[in-house]
């Protein structure tokens, strides 16, 4: 396991061994401003917004900070730990659209090259980077000794755990539920379908590509699952009780009339943009795919609450946690690659690795705050955070 | 301001750039001033070199930079403007002083860092931007000179990498010390607005607010220059997270 100072390069400088790299970007200009404010330090005034928007597109992908994650294994003796880097591709938050795919792929490639150059043994692709690369692994630079994972398997694990937990909290019988998955043919959506289809009454699959929908439906039906597919949510014959949005919806109003009034809605899209609204007052919305590190997480410089802008401490997106968990386990392998290969067995395997090192499902919350009635000390809400910080927008890790 | 020295240009080709000519005049004035300053720097460098090959190299570079200045001046005449230069202009003078401080300390490596890593990054990136929008031969001249300046950087990189390998910490501390002086001056020069008064190179009012008329912007020139600088530091092997913080702390 990592953590040791591996070599000495030149007099007076040691090069730290890099177990993992986390590749990401900021989702909002506020998040960018906060990152730059940390980098500028307290002696310098924060940059004006217009300057930030002028400067950001010119910053080449690069490491922003060092990250250390600690395991609960052998915690009494200091615990196992893994060291890594957070590498930002500096994709501007207003360029997360299809029109910028080529430019953004180049940025992710640049960030991947940084991970390789740093000698990272495993690199997790976070957020939009994962979406861009999941079907384009051949576009990553020559890898040498660095393996890449999209982290989607652990993301699926936390989504599934979250849905089950929410059903339990709401006293719902998941076995009688109709599950709708939006973005069902993607890597995360199809993984959720494989994990949850066997335990619900019926599955509704929605995505843009009908052919892929039919292939997934045939796979599930072969195991005796009742499946409907549609490219338009209005075409389904029944309302859903549980919804997993594995792709971002333009608006939560798209779900109106397609889901039961008190449906459980898991926003697992990227970026997360569903919020409790007057249009669906009875819906129980929560953010899915997030995990919490209980052994310890630290940044140098200190980006706590800046890179991981969640309302609970040490909460990180599952996609990035996968790389950290594998690094703690000393398993430097491309656990999640490609699209459509996530199975229930693989999900159980990665969840077991994460659990062993104290990485668990994060407390459930949404834009309004925690959705769990009983909050224990481990899931303590971070008091005093601004409204902006409570909202998930800009949460990179 | 001094007119540019010994110009052997061909016949003047006045083009139909009358409306934008004053803008190009100032763009060229900055470029010529930078080239003349580089020529002066290389000449100074030749005076502290012990190795005759290094002396010859520095003098050759100085001649090359003077040739660039002459080429830019010729482009000015083609569009009907006489381009001035002013190495005593506020920012350029400060940059020269920073270089001369290294000369006074007979710090050959420091001189290379200032000239090749910092000033040339600025030149390569900004010339390349101008080359994309510059009309006719003016654009081509900027492109050609940007490519030649890039070769200078490549040449220096080998020397600097070898120097860094001997003592990483000392080298990086030196780069940071020079960065604080030189890049702070360059950042002020590249700011969207000149907050410290007239730069003493533009022939009238500050050219920056007019750059959009020729599809340029001060913000893009600054962004491209800092991007090139960061990439050059990456190639030298400096940690990206460290150089990012340096650049983030520059004035705007």
pLDDT in tens, A64-73: 999 999 999 9
- The whole-angstrom distance between A104's CA and the closest CA on chain B is 16
Indicate yes or no: CB of B168 within 8 angstroms of CB of A12: yes
Q: Average pLDDT in the B39-56 region?
A: 94
Please report the residues numbered 177 through 216 in chain B whose beta carbons come closer than 8 angstroms to any beta carbon of chain A: 192
CATH number of A154-287: 3.40.50.720
Indicate yes or no: CB of B164 within 8 angstroms of CB of A10: yes
Query: Which one of A36, A54, A60 has the shortest CB-CB distance to B230?
Result: A60
- Whether this model's ipTM surpasses 0.90 comes out as no
Per residue in B156-192, is it b (16+ CB within 10 Å) or e — as a string? bbeebeebbeeebeebbebbeebbebbbebbbbbbbb
Phi and psi of A29, rounded to 5°?
A: -65, -30
pLDDT range class, residue A252, cuts 50, 70, 90? low
Q: Tens digits of per-residue pLDDT, B125-175?
A: 999 999 999 999 999 999 999 999 888 788 789 999 999 999 999 999 999
What pLDDT was estimated at residue B227? 96
Reply yes or no on whether the pLDDT at B201 is more than 60: yes
Q: What is the DSSP string of A153-182?
A: HHHHHHHHHHHHHHHHHTT--GGGPEEEEE
Chain A touched by B226 (CB under 8 Å)? yes
Work out the mean pLDDT of chain B and round it to a whole number. 89
What pLDDT was estimated at residue A253? 67
Query: Residue A101, SS3?
Result: helix
Q: B240 contacts in A (CB within 8 Å)? A: 62-63, 114
Phi-psi region of A281 (alpha: psi -120 to 50; beta: other; left: phi over 0): alpha
pLDDT range class, residue A397, cuts 50, 70, 90? low
Reply yes or no on whether the pLDDT at A368 is more than 50: yes
What pLDDT was estimated at residue A251? 66
Chain B touched by A12 (CB under 8 Å)? yes
Please report the residues numbered 63 through 82 in chain A whose beta carbons come closer than 8 angstroms to any beta carbon of chain B: 63-66
Indicate yes or no: CB of A39 within 8 angstroms of CB of B170: no
Q: In chain A, where are the structural domains located?
A: 5-153+291-389, 154-287
Query: Residue B60, SS3?
Result: helix
Reply yes or no on whether the pLDDT at B85 is more than 50: yes
Query: Which one of A10, A64, A66 has the shortest CB-CB distance to B244?
Result: A64
pLDDT range class, residue A377, cuts 50, 70, 90? very low
- The whole-angstrom distance between A29's CA and the closest CA on chain B is 15
Q: Which is higher by pLDDT, B114 or A254?
A: B114
pLDDT range class, residue B230, cuts 50, 70, 90? very high
Taking one residue from A and the other from B, the number of pairs with CB-CB distance under 8 angstroms is 75
Indicate yes or no: CB of A57 within 8 angstroms of CB of B223: yes
CA atoms within 13 A on the CB side of B48: 18
- The whole-angstrom distance between B190's CA and the closest CA on chain A is 12
Find the angle CA(B209)-CA(B213)-CA(B219) to the nearest 5 degrees.
50
Q: Average pLDDT in the A174-201 region?
A: 96
What pLDDT was estimated at residue A350? 98
What structural domains and CATH numbers belong to chain B?
Answer: 2-248 (1.20.1260.10)
CB of A300 within 8 A of CB of A363? no
Give the percent of chain A with pLDDT over 70.
Answer: 86
Q: B167 contacts in A (CB within 8 Å)? A: 10-12
Query: Which one of A47, A54, A62 has the shortest CB-CB distance to B244?
Result: A62
Work out the mean pLDDT of chain A and round it to a whole number. 85
Query: Residue A333, SS3?
Result: coil
Phi and psi of B158, rounded to 5°?
A: -60, -45
Query: Residue A240, SS3?
Result: strand
Q: Tens digits of per-residue pLDDT, A260-295?
A: 889 999 999 877 777 777 677 788 999 999 999 999
Cα B82 to Cα B65: distance, rounded to the nearest angstrom: 19
Question: What residues contact A160, with CB distance under 8 A and at least 6 apart?
Answer: A192, A195, A196, A347
Name residue, tokens 């990152």.
A35
Q: Which of A165, A348, A346 is nearest to A242 (CA)?
A: A165
Q: Tens digits of per-residue pLDDT, A204-250?
A: 999 999 999 999 999 999 999 999 999 988 899 999 999 999 987 76
Neighbours of A298 (CB within 10 A): 16
What pLDDT was estimated at residue B150? 86
């Amino acid at each position: 396991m990592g953590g040791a100072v591996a070599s000495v390069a030149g007099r007076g400088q040691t090069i730290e061994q890099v177990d993992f790299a986390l590749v990401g970007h900021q989702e909002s200009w506020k998040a960018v401003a906060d990152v730059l404010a940390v980098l500028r330090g307290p002696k310098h005034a924060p940059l004006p917004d217009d300057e930030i928007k002028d400067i950001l597109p010119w910053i080449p992908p690069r490491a922003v900070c060092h990250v250390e994650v600690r395991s609960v294994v052998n915690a009494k003796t200091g615990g196992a730990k893994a060291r890594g880097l957070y590498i930002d591709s500096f994709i501007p938050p207003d360029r997360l659209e299809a029109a910028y795919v080529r430019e953004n792929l180049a940025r992710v490639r640049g960030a991947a090259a940084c991970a390789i150059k740093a000698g990272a043994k495993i690199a997790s692709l976070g957020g939009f980077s994962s979406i861009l690369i999941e079907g384009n692994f051949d576009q990553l630079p020559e890898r040498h000794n660095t393996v890449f994972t999209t982290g989607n398997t652990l993301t699926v694990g936390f989504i599934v755990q979250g849905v089950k937990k929410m059903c339990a909290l709401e006293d719902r019988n998941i076995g009688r539920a109709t599950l709708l998955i939006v973005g069902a043919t993607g890597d995360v959506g199809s993984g959720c379908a494989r994990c949850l289809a066997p335990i619900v009454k019926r599955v509704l699959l929605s995505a843009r590509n009908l052919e892929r929908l039919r292939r997934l439906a045939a796979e599930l039906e072969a195991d005796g699952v009742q499946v409907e597919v549609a490219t338009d949510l209005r075409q389904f014959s029944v309302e859903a009780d549980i919804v997993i949005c594995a792709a971002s919806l333009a608006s939560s109003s798209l779900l109106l009339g397609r889901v039961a009034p008190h449906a459980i809605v898991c926003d697992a899209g990227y970026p997360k943009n569903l919020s409790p609204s007057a249009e669906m007052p009875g819906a129980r919305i929560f953010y899915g795919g997030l995990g919490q590190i209980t052994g310890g997480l630290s940044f140098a410089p200190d980006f706590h609450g800046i890179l991981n802008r969640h309302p609970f401490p040490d909460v990180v997106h599952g996609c990035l946690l996968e790389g950290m968990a594998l690094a703690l386990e000393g398993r430097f392998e491309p656990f999640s690659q490609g699209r459509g290969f996530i199975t229930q067995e693989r999900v159980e395997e990665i969840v077991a690795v994460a659990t062993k090192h104290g990485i668990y499902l994060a407390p459930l919350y949404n834009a309004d705050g925690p959705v769990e009635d009983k909050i224990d000390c481990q899931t303590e809400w971070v008091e005093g955070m601004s409204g902006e910080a409570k909202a998930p927008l800009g949460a990179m890790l | 301001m001094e007119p540019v020295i010994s110009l052997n240009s061909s016949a003047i080709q006045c083009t139909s750039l009358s409306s934008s000519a004053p803008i190009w005049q100032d763009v060229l004035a900055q470029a010529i001033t930078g080239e003349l300053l580089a020529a002066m720097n290389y000449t100074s460098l030749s005076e502290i070199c012990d190795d005759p090959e290094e002396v010859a190299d520095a003098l050759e570079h100085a001649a090359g930079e003077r040739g660039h200045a002459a080429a830019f001046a010729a482009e000015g005449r083609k569009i009907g403007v006489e381009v001035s230069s002013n190495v005593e202009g506020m920012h350029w003078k400060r940059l020269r002083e920073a270089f001369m401080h290294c000369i006074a300390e007979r710090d050959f490596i420091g001189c290379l860092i200032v000239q090749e890593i910092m000033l040339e990054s600025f030149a390569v990136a900004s010339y390349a931007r101008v080359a994309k929008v510059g009309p006719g031969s003016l654009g081509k001249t900027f492109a050609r000179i940007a490519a030649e300046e890039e070769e200078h950087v490549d040449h220096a990189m080998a020397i600097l990498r070898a120097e860094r390998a001997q003592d990483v910490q000392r080298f990086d501390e030196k780069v940071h010390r020079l960065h604080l002086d030189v890049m702070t001056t360059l950042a002020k020069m590249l700011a969207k607005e000149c907050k410290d008064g007239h730069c003493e190179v533009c022939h009238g009012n500050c050219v920056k607010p007019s750059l959009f008329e020729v599809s340029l912007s001060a913000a893009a020139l600054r962004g491209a220059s800092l991007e090139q600088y960061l990439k050059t530091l990456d190639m030298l092997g400096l940690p990206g997270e460290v150089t990012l913080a340096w650049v983030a702390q520059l004035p705007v």
